[in-house]
């Protein structure tokens, strides 16, 4: 049972346009959400996060939106750049627990930004 789903395995966008990546989750207990970016042959790196008490968090070109009622979050990248081409993973966490930051990841979305 996948608790975090990224239904679009890939996304192609023109340089300068907006990239929108979507993520859905089923566990209503998740209270923290993160996006990680992964280049080939490298480990994932943290990109941006959002707490369940917020509905938006912005960091430069990256904005994450959270819709708790719909159990949906999205990552917007604007403007998209060729260096943004990577696999993006959505992850969810239960902060109010005793067992560390065990993240539940989605399957990833491969983004290709065309020059």
Partner 1 sequence: GAGVSQSPSNKVTEKGKDVELRCDPISGHTALYWYRQSLGQGLEFLIYFQGNSAPDKSGLPSDRFSAERTGGSVSTLTIQRTQQEDSAVYLCASSLTPISDTGELFFGEGSRLTVL
Residue 84 or residue 106: which is nearer to partner 1 going by CB?
106
Interface residue with partner 1 among 11, 32, 68, 112 (CB under 8 A) is: 32
Question: Of 52, 47, 54, nearest to 108 (Cα)?
Answer: 47
Q: Cα torsion for 23, 29, 31, 32, to the nearest 10°? A: -50
Please, which of residues 75-94 interact with partner 1 by CB under 8 A? 89, 91, 93
Residue closer to partner 1 (CB basis): 80 or 88: 88
What string of DSSP letters covers 5-65?
E---SEEEEETTS-EEEEEEE--TT--EEEEEEE-TTS--EEEEEEETT-SEEEETTEEEE
Among 28, 43, 53, 83, binds partner 1 (CB under 8 A): 43
Q: Binder to partner 1 among 1, 69, 83, 99 (CB under 8 A)?
A: 99
Q: Which of 45, 56, 58, 59 binds partner 1 (CB under 8 A)?
A: 45
């Amino acid at each position: 049972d996948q608790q975090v789903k990224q239904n679009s395995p890939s996304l192609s966008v023109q340089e300068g346009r907006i990239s929108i990546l979507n993520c859905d989750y089923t566990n209503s207990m998740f209270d923290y959400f993160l996006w990680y970016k992964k280049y080939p042959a490298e480990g994932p790196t943290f990109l941006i996060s959002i707490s369940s008490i917020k509905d938006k968090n912005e960091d430069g070109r990256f904005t994450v939106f959270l819709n708790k009622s719909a159990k949906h979050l999205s990552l917007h990248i604007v403007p998209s750049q060729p260096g943004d081409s990577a696999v993006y993973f959505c992850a969810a966490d239960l902060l109010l627990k005793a067992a560390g930051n065990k993240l539940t990841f989605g399957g990833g979305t491969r983004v290709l930004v065309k020059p």
